[in-house]
Amino acid sequence: GAGVSQSPSNKVTEKGKDVELRCDPISGHTALYWYRQRLGQGLEFLIYFQGNSAPDKSGLPSDRFSAERTGESVSTLTIQRTQQEDSAVYLCASSLARLAAETQYFGPGTRLLVL
């Protein structure tokens, strides 16, 4: 079946502009996660969704970052008033999220460059 997809694959924006990044999880996956990966670094947790609710937003770097999920499917990560330090690859992952830990399947990421 189809894997996790993300769009756009690349985004170049000017400092101060807002951007929206989209994630389409694997159908039927209840859990959805957003991570940020700066160049040459590890994955930094941002937020996760349990259905359409976000029990853990602890990783969002500032109030410029927000995310929503609708219909237990698509999620959008919004970054307002982008800064150069926001430049990174933003990865989305989804999992079945049953009682035990399930494999998180990652999307290809959106490479964001803030000029």
Partner 1 sequence: GENVEQHPSTLSVQEGDSAVIKCTYSDSASNYFPWYKQELGKRPQLIIDIRSNVGEKKDQRIAVTLNKTAKHFSLHITETQPEDSAVYFCAASMNTGFQKLVFGTGTRLLVSP
Chain residues that interact with partner 1, rule: CB under 8 A: 30-31, 33, 35, 41-45, 48, 50, 55-56, 59, 91, 95, 97-109
Write down the least CB distance from residue 12 to partner 1, Å.
17
Q: Pick between residue 70 and residue 101 the one whose CB is nearest to partner 1.
A: 101
CA 17 to CA 56: how far, in whole Å? 26
CA 17 to CA 65: how far, in whole Å? 13
Write down the least CB distance from residue 45 to partner 1, Å.
6
Q: Pick between residue 41 and residue 62 the one whose CB is nearest to partner 1.
A: 41
Element of type H or E holding 3: none
Q: Pick between residue 80 and residue 106 the one whose CB is nearest to partner 1.
A: 106
Instruction: Count Cα atoms within 13 angstroms, Cβ side, for 65.
Output: 17
Q: Pick between residue 44 and residue 64 the one whose CB is nearest to partner 1.
A: 44
80: amino acid identity, one letter? Q
Q: Terminal CA-to-CA distance of the chain, rounded, Å?
A: 37
Write down the least CB distance from residue 95 to partner 1, Å.
8
> Residue 75's closest CA among 37, 1, 21, 36?
21
Write down the least CB distance from residue 62 to partner 1, Å.
18
